[in-house]
Amino acid sequence: MKYLLKGGTVISGLDTLKADVLIEDEIIKEVGKKIPEEDATVIDVTGKYVFPGFIDAHTHFDLEVSGTVTADNFNTGTKAAIVGGTTCVIDFATQNKGETLQEGLDNWHKKADNRSSCDYGFHMAISEWNPHTSEEVPHMFQEGITSFKLYMTYSSRVRDGEIYEVLKRIKEYGGIVGVHCENGELIDQLIAEQKKEGNFSPSAHPVSRPSCIEAEAINRFLTIAKLVDVPVIVVHLSTKEGFEVIQRAAEQGQKVYIETCPQYLLLDESKYYLPGFESAKYVISPPLRTKEDSQCLWKGLKEDKIHTLATDHCSFTLKQKEMGKDDYTKIPNGMPGVETRAAVVYTYGVLEDKISLNQMCRLMAENPAKLYGLYPKKGTIQAGSDADIVVWDPEYQGKITAANQMQNVDYAPFEGYNIKGRPEKVFLRGQLLVEGGKLLKENQGKYISRKRGSL
């Protein structure tokens, strides 16, 4: 199949260019002015932006949390993703305690293979580090896993010594480690205190996980990374305090990448004081913060000090959230977002001049592609790259509502938000899969074996 996208505005991380894009089979064949039509199917994209397919490097599909499984699996989650303009996700293949990394990886392939509607790769989340796990590392690279994840909180948390050992080992192979930075031991103490005082409602959630809990963990993680002398990434950064810790390390020459998510930019802690059990929707970790924190993160994005914008999509229905009706610590943590990221970032970021179109492209396509070893196959519109393309209609107007979302959840964190702009067409490796918000064909996604990245 040959398509010629004619008359659009092609967005890259650095430029905005009026150009045609020729797609042949799975690949972008040519980008240029007035490409001859020949035998291609011509699509007039005048007045539209042409973005590389967006990459969401932080999703949790089909993940077991607190004795339940996320509402979105790879089938529903990746359908929502591609309709929202995301053509590749990097999900967290998770080693459960007692498992080998290979078992964790095999398990994730079973969940994802043949049922994904966008392309996908995996980070490996390590919850147990031992001599055998260490031996498995080179094999993970052969399997296309070049990034790893550690938690400093939850039951899967690792100790400082383990973080040190993992960083040393991954450094040998040129991979990158991302960490969920929150001090798990202190959180346990603060939770116990809240319960002792009789606070069992979601309003106790942010009290159990204050900003300093994130900032302290970041500082400790970066201290370890400095000892090992290796670049690292802090995932889902939520606080100004944490941001400042990272900037101090960066000023001293340390290479630290930052990921944040739309919820930390647009929602705040007032959500924990909603009537009834409404607040449970926003029980995520790290929790929502203050407006001042959000402002700091927007500024960090504007100044290119924050490198990627992902969703941390980890969805649970209200019924599932009800598990914590009498005890907020039993509410499965997480919220949906994989479907709405681009529309929300465009409407509330680009149109409000908080970031540019090119920054949107960098944060959601080019940078994650580079950082995680997908570039230039993905994350860019140039000859030879995969034809993962979003034709963005800047004139579309709509409203986010749970009633018409693809995500398999019965609420939308951004319910009622007005949206300007949406993906009008989405191509995945040259196949037109989304048109006018409708998915034309499912299960076309492939596993992407990744190389070592660098940004």
**Bond prior to 286 in cis (omega within 30° of 0):** yes
Helices (H), 100-130: 101-112
CB of 185 to ligand URP, least distance (A): 16
Where residue 293 falls (left for φ over 0; alpha for ψ -120 to 50; beta otherwise) is: alpha
Q: Between β-strands 389-399 and 418-428, what pairing exists: parallel, antiparallel or unpaired?
A: antiparallel
In terms of CB distance, is 13 or 178 closer to ligand URP? 178
Per-residue interface string for the shown chain with ligand URP, residues 50-69, x marking contact by CB under 6 A: ----------x---------
Name which of residues 298 to 317 contact ligand URP (CB under 6 A).
312, 314
Packing angle, helices 131-142 and 101-112, rounded to 10: 40
Neighbours of 339 (CB within 10 A): 27
Please give the size of the binding site for ligand URP, defined by CB under 6 A. 8
**Nearest residue to 81 via CA among 425, 339, 352, 347:** 339
Contact between 149 and Zn ion per CB under 5 A: no
**Residue 285 binds ligand URP (CB under 6 A):** yes
Rounded to whole angstroms, the Cα distance separating 304 from 60 reads 26
Sheet holding 176-180, edge to edge: 54-59, 86-94, 119-125, 147-151, 176-180, 232-234, 256-260, 308-309
Q: Both tokens of residue 81?
A: 């993703």
Question: Minimum distance between the CB of residue 427 and ligand URP, rounded to whole angstroms?
Answer: 30
333 binds, among Zn ion, ligand URP, none (CB under 5 to 8 A by kind): ligand URP
**294-313: which residues touch Zn ion (CB under 5 A)?**
312
Per-residue contact string for residues 232-271; x = within reach of ligand URP by CB under 6 A: ----------------------------------------
CB neighbours of residue 98 within 10 Å: 8
Range 167-206, binding Zn ion (CB under 5 A): 180
56 binds Zn ion (CB under 5 A): no
Residue 339's binding partner among ligand URP, Zn ion, none (Cβ under 5 to 8 angstroms by kind) is: none
Torsional sign, CA 281, 286, 290, 296 = negative
Q: How far is the CB of 208 from ligand URP (least distance, A)?
A: 13
Site for ligand URP (CB under 6 A): which residue of 22, 88, 258, 284? 284
- 9 CB-near residues (< 8 Å, 6+ apart): 16, 17, 18, 48, 49, 50
Least Å from the CB of residue 121 to Zn ion: 15
Spatial contact of 2 and 22, defined as CB atoms under 8 Å apart: yes
When asked if residue 6 is in the footprint of Zn ion (CB under 5 A), the reply is no
333 forms part of the interface with ligand URP (CB under 6 A): yes
Question: Which of the choices Zn ion, ligand URP, none does residue 380 contact, using the CB cut-off of 5 to 8 A by kind?
Answer: none
Per-residue interface string for the shown chain with Zn ion, residues 115-134, x marking contact by CB under 5 A: --------------------
| 117 vs 333 by CB, closer to ligand URP | 333
**Residue 214 corresponds to which tokens in the numbers above?**
């994130």
Joined together, the tokens standing for residue 281 give 């929707």
Q: Does 70 bind ligand URP (CB under 6 A)?
A: no
Least distance (Å) from ligand URP to the CB of residue 287? 9
Give the nearest distance from C-beta 181 to Zn ion in angstroms: 9
Give the Cα-Cα-Cα angle 417, 286, 92 (nearest 5 degrees).
90
The residue ranges that bind Zn ion (CB under 5 A) are 180, 312
The residue ranges that bind ligand URP (CB under 6 A) are 60, 180, 284-285, 312, 314, 333-334
